[in-house]
């Protein structure tokens, strides 16, 4: 039997690449529980504009689904911050998650400037 294979998802299949307003959030659900999935990867890509405030950055919070009723944890199981970002730059962080259903929340920590955010999921099966 062959080992599990990562099937890369289409870029932006969770949150399409687009602007995230100053201090704004974008929320989506990721299902890594079906189709024989052994979990998967979530990639957060952040692109800053031509200027960044002292409060710059972006944070991705991951909340597992806690029950069959669709309730998600109220405390993030994982938090991935980008801080100290430079103007006109792109940053990416990929994290591996076990089998499950997750709510992901991207938050723009820059109180003054919008950023571009994209979230992509890939399955391991």
Note the pLDDT of residue 1. 60
Domain locations along the chain: 6-124
Q: Can you give the pLDDT of all 125 residues of the chain as single tens digits?
A: 678 888 899 999 999 999 999 999 999 999 999 878 899 999 999 999 999 999 899 999 999 999 888 899 999 999 999 988 999 999 999 999 999 999 999 999 999 999 999 999 999 99
Residues 60, 100 contacting (CB under 8 angstroms)? no
Residues 114, 49 contacting (CB under 8 angstroms)? yes
Residues 89, 47 contacting (CB under 8 angstroms)? yes
- pTM metric for this prediction: 0.91
Note the pLDDT of residue 68. 86
CA angle 112, 91, 93 (to 5 degrees): 120
Residues 119, 29 contacting (CB under 8 angstroms)? no
Phi-psi region of 15 (alpha: psi -120 to 50; beta: other; left: phi over 0): beta
Separation CA 123–CA 44 (nearest Å): 15
Q: 6-124 in CATH: which number?
A: 2.60.120.380
């Amino acid at each position: 039997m062959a080992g599990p294979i990562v099937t890369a998802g289409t870029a932006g299949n969770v949150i399409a690449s687009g602007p995230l307003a100053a201090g704004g959030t974008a929320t989506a659900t990721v299902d890594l529980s079906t189709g024989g999935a052994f979990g998967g990867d979530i990639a957060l890509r952040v692109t800053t504009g031509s200027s960044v405030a002292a409060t710059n950055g972006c944070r991705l919070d991951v909340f597992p689904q806690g029950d069959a009723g669709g309730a998600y944890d109220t405390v993030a199981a994982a938090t991935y911050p980008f801080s100290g970002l430079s103007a006109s730059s792109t940053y990416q962080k990929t994290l591996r998650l076990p089998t499950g259903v997750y709510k992901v929340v991207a938050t723009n920590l820059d109180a003054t400037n919008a950023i571009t955010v994209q979230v992509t999921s890939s399955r391991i099966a």
